[in-house]
Amino acid sequence: MNILAIETSCDETAAAVVSDGRTVLSSIIRSQSDTHALYGGVVPEIASRAHTEAIVDITRAALDTACCGLDAIDAVAVTCAPGLIGALLTGVSFAKGLAYAAAKPLIPVHHIRGHIAANYIAHPALEPPFVCLVVSGGHTMLVDVRGYTDMSLLGSTRDDAAGEAFDKVARVLGLPYPGGPSVQKLAEGGDPFKYSLPRTVFKETPCDFSFSGLKTAVINLVSNAAQRGEAIDRPSLAASFTRAVSDVLTGASMRAVAAAGYKRMVIAGGVAANTGLRSELALSAGTHEYELYLPPPPLCIDNAAMIASAAYYESLRGDAAYAGPGLNAYANMNVDLLVY
Ligand code: KG4
Ligand code: ZN
């Protein structure tokens, strides 16, 4: 089954063709990050307009690269939630029009389910059940993935997402948007044990997260040093911050895998590209004798191949997986309670 997928939930316009959920025939991504970098973060209205301008070319490029026309496509898939509402609407409207004009079925996809499915592309033998740590710009959560489309939320952030914390800390350190890759680069030369930073753990709900205290601690450290005229060891602060985020994410992940009774975990989302987090997770998973699946960085960030993969597994649910022309976009939607 060949699925053409469209992804426009944030600042990447992406289209891909994937066969049977695992074989990528094409994956085209146009990032808007240079445009948004001028403003220090994503400007929703600019993102929507840029998606509208790019979507036709990107979709055409995905079909051309896959060497197939629309006649070889069995279904059109689109991210319909969660994300920036205007950005999502451009993709949903385009996909609805395309599916209608080409007389193809339409499969709506939850963005986070897409991030999780990126692992099926990266690891051909991977099957549920497992626990997935999803760490992106907008979400930080632990998901019990019992089956390809049967999942429930184990815990999530109560305030900032991990990626959001990276982006804010980057700004305080004078680094460009998107913050994650810039903080990672700066941290390479730093001492991760130099600055002592807070880690929040909830005793009652050990799979929940909070990053606002950590973010505020970094902001205060930088502004107090500026007031005193003291220099900050920026690489070491970036490394200490990364270590604090990684400690919290790793600790919660190990508790979640144990609580779910599995021996397998995967990670997903833009922050999953972070080298510090990847090595700390690998170390800890090794100690616990858990299998750990890490997608390669290009599959961690937003792309449409992961949406096509998730759509394939949704399609196995039958009629309930398909939507009509009334499909809407939603800024928020639970990963386990799909209401399209
Ligand atoms: O999954 P994603 O591409 O988009 C969302 O769905 O949000 O994640 C984007 C987030 C941004 O906050 C970005 O700073 C972060 O992922 N990110 C990273 C790295 N690469 C991207 N964070 C830490 N280290 C990285 N190498
Ligand atoms: Zn994402």
Confidence of residue 226 (pLDDT cuts 50, 70, 90): very high
What is the Cα–Cα distance from 118 to 268, expressed in whole angstroms?
7
| Global pTM value | 0.96
The rounded percent of the chain whose pLDDT value lies above 70 is 99
Residue whose CA lies nearest to ligand 1 atom number 10: 137
- Residue 23's pLDDT is what? 98
Q: How many helices (H) and strands (E) does the chain have?
A: 11, 10
Q: Is 184 in the pocket of ligand 1 (CB under 6 A)?
A: yes
Give the model's confidence band at 221: pLDDT under 50 very low, under 70 low, under 90 confident, else very high: very high
Domains of the chain: 2-116+300-321 (3.30.420.40), 128-294 (3.30.420.40)
* Residue minimizing CA distance to atom 7 of ligand 1: 137
| Strand pairing class (140-145; 75-81) | unpaired
Model confidence band, residue 50 (pLDDT cutoffs 50, 70, 90): very high
Ligand nearest to the CA of 178: 1
pLDDT confidence band for 249 (50 / 70 / 90):
very high
Q: Which of 109, 301, 332, 335 for mutating ligand 1's site (highest number of atoms within 8 Å of CB)?
A: 301
Does 72 have pLDDT greater than 90?
yes
Q: What is the mean pLDDT of residues 215-233?
A: 97
DSSP, collapsed to helix, strand or coil, labels residue 332 as coil
Q: Using a 6 Å cutoff on CB, does residue 276 contact ligand 1?
A: no
| CB-neighbour burial class of residue 266 (10 A; exposed 0-12, middle 13-18, buried 19+) | buried
Pick from 30, 115, 166 the residue to mutate for probing ligand 1's pocket: most ligand atoms within 8 Å of its CB: 166
Give the three-class secondary structure for 284: helix
CB of 141 shorter than 6 A to ligand 1 = no
What's the pLDDT band for 59 if we cut at 50, 70, 90?
A: very high
pLDDT value of position 337: 74
> 142-198 pLDDT, tens per residue?
999 999 999 999 999 999 999 999 999 999 999 998 899 999 999 998 999 999 999
Closest atom, ligand 1, to C-alpha of 9: 6
The share of the chain scoring above pLDDT 90, in percent, equals 97
pLDDT at 109 over 80: yes
Is the predicted pLDDT of residue 338 greater than 90, yes or no? no
The ligand 1 atom at the shortest distance from the C-alpha of residue 177 is 14
Ligand 1: does its nearest atom lie under 6 Å from the Cβ of 135?
A: no
Among 27, 133, 136, which residue has the most ligand 1 atoms within 8 Å of its CB, making it the best to mutate? Answer: 136
Chain segment 116-156, per-residue pLDDT in tens:
999 999 999 999 999 999 999 999 999 999 999 999 999 99
Q: Using the predicted structure, report yes or no on whether residue 7 has a pLDDT greater than 80.
A: yes
DSSP state of 245: H
Cβ distance 109 to 322 under 8 Å?
A: no
Query: Whose CA is closest to atom 13 on ligand 1?
Result: 180
